[in-house]
Amino acid sequence: MNSNYIGSRMLPLFVAINGFLCVGLGAFGAHGLKATVAPEVMHYWHTGVRYHMFHVVALLACAFIASTCEERPRVARWAVLAACLFLLGILFFSGSLYLLVLLPKGWLGLSAAMGGVFFLLGWASLTLCVLRR
């Protein structure tokens, strides 16, 4: 798959799927977990949802930039790279926080840290994309 295909076809799909997941997980945390999880642990869930939603918006920006730069494939590639890094960040950072609430395991903190690094790399890639635009 080339970056034009990913940028124009797949990124909007990733935005939609992650937006849906974020709202669903937020509602599940607010209503489904409220009675079963200790309040002092719920802040992990809320942090995961918050960063998930921030990066859904970042994915939307990547999809927009990639779709408007199809005639400049090098710029579009930076946007696609940023989106992939944001997706990895969502998986590792938010995903590990969700799991930390459901399955309290200490090693999940390391996974959250890796997700944070993916987020930072995604923002650096998006910055390079915008500068090259």
pLDDT digits (tens, 9 = 90+) for 9-18: 789 999 999 9
DSSP 106: T
Task: Report pTM.
Answer: 0.91
**Domain residue ranges of the chain, discontinuous segments joined by +:** 3-132
Q: In this predicted model, what pLDDT tens digit does every residue of 81-114 receive, in sequence order?
A: 999 999 999 999 999 999 999 987 878 888 999 9
Rg of the chain (C-alpha set): 16
Token pair recorded at residue 29: 């945390």
Q: Which of 51, 49, 52 has its CA nearest to residue 30?
A: 49
Burial class of residue 45, CB neighbours in 10 A (0-12, 13-18, 19+): buried
